[in-house]
Amino acid sequence: MGFFDIFKKKEAPAAAPAGPMMVAADAKGTVVPMEQIPDEVFAQGILGKCCGIDPSEGKVYAPVDGEITQVPDTLHALGIQGNGGVEILIHVGVDTVEMKGDGFASKVKLGDKVTKGQLLLTMDLDKIKAAGHPAVVITVVTNTDDFAGVELVASGDVEPGADLLKVTK
């Protein structure tokens, strides 16, 4: 090491792996492609690239490691700042905000650190159905424009933790 080498900037380690990141399935059920989500805002990708899962059980799990950034009082949605810069919105059901939290129970609070696969909330699928709402669990990459691509890689029935969306830098 030469004398001037001590003045050179050391490169910071990369915050995220160079390869694509995977956003996992956050519920057990059947994959619903973005265009088929029964809500125009999501189906048109207005909030970002997304997909849905028509749930077969009333549990929602963390699709990525990260920090909880939104927990509305209605408990029908959660925001997660994922490691590697991906921002996720999980929206449970269509128009379920009208239920004002009835049938939903959060297992996390604002600022909680979560790990992929951790139980985030529970929902009563019968109550959602009785209220006349589709129960589809919608997973949105809200900062889609920050990435080269957000691609659905799953179809058919999925288990929580299975690869769902591939996010490419």
Question: Where in the sequence numbering do the catalytic residues fall?
Answer: 91
Classify 26 as helix, strand or coil.
Answer: coil
In order of 52, 64, 73, 83, 92, the CA distances from 112 in angstroms are 24, 13, 16, 13, 19
Distance from the Cα of residue 6 to its chain's centroid: 43
18: number of Cβ within 10 Å: 6
- Residue 128's identity, in one-letter code, is I
